[in-house]
Amino acid sequence: MGGTEVLLTENVSDKGDIAKRICNQMSRLVYTNRGVKVASGLYFLNHTKASAILVEVCFVDDKDDYLLYKSDRMDVAEAIVKVMSNHNKVY
């Protein structure tokens, strides 16, 4: 098992759009797009006042994911920043 997934408490408005775009950007970096997942039991997502998502970039117990992340972590950061800084634009 490997790939990227984005977790959120509910798939609504900006959160769902941003989550989908992050998954799409990560798939361009050759990570498997595992999609957007709704998760109701995550402490981090349930105990914040801000709108929040959790990006699971890769699975470090998956050797291929680990090696991919190790070789291009700056590209990963740039892909997420691109989505976050342009979340109101279509690209």
pLDDT tens digits, residue range 15-58?
899 999 999 999 999 999 999 999 989 998 989 888 889 999 98
72 with 25: CB under 8 angstroms? Answer: no
The C-alpha atoms of residue 10 and residue 58 are separated, in whole angstroms, by 22
27 with 89: CB under 8 angstroms? Answer: no
- Sorted by sequence, the CB contacts under 8 Å of residue 84 that are 6+ apart come out as 18
pLDDT > 90 in the chain, percent: 55
pTM: 0.86
pLDDT band at residue 90, thresholds of 50, 70 and 90? low
Instruction: Output DSSP code: residue 58.
Output: -
What are the strands, taking DSSP E only, across 1-91?
Answer: 4-8, 33-38, 54-56
